[in-house]
Amino acid sequence: MNRFAIKLLFIIIVIPFGGFAQVLGFGKKLSEYKASNGKTYHIGDTIKLGHGSAPNGDFRYVQIGGWAQLLPMEDKGSDTHNINKYSSGQGAVIQKIHSSKAHGFERVIFAVQLGFGTNFDLYIEDAIASCEIQDCKSNAVVIVQQSSDNLDKIKKLKELLDSGAITQSEYDAQKKKLLAQ
């Protein structure tokens, strides 16, 4: 079998089952999910995207899903289905919440709509850990608290404020606390 035939067979058989696992009923459908950032997400909620965590700024944990997975795309290896950095700051509306277990590891995936005509898969816990969504504030404060120098901490806080990871009031409160030490 030539290489083209193998790729075509893969597209016809494997991708639909992986990409449409939620639609086909594999795993468990949820109506809400309490995430590690303390927020409980429901179908219909909007999640604001932060910044992509790939070296080029693209998103690693928000990927093209639904029917668009079947479209021919530029081969970028494992990053082929990642959405690009220009989606930063957009709102992603939760369409479905799906939990699946593989190799003893459970993973929660949100099917989200970004307004491009197809759903996207948002790997919520990975997105929180990497700040690919803006609701990762608890992680941001921990990073700042681990720094040894107060001026360095204030500088990092300012960077977090500028990136949208923390609010102005959080920045002011932390800065005031550091200056009082």
Query: What does the alpha-carbon distance between residue 11 and residue 69 come to, in Å, rounded to a whole number?
Result: 9
CA torsion through residues 51, 53, 57, 60, sign: negative
The amino acid present at 142, given as its one-letter code, is V
Query: What does the alpha-carbon distance between residue 75 and residue 158 come to, in Å, rounded to a whole number?
Result: 37
Q: What is the value of pTM for the model shown?
A: 0.60
pLDDT string in tens for the chain (181-residue length): 666 666 555 555 554 444 444 444 457 899 999 998 889 999 999 999 999 988 888 999 998 876 655 555 555 545 566 788 888 889 999 999 989 887 778 899 999 998 877 788 889 999 998 899 998 865 445 444 544 577 788 888 888 888 888 888 888 888 888 777 6
pLDDT at 24: 43
pLDDT at 167: 86
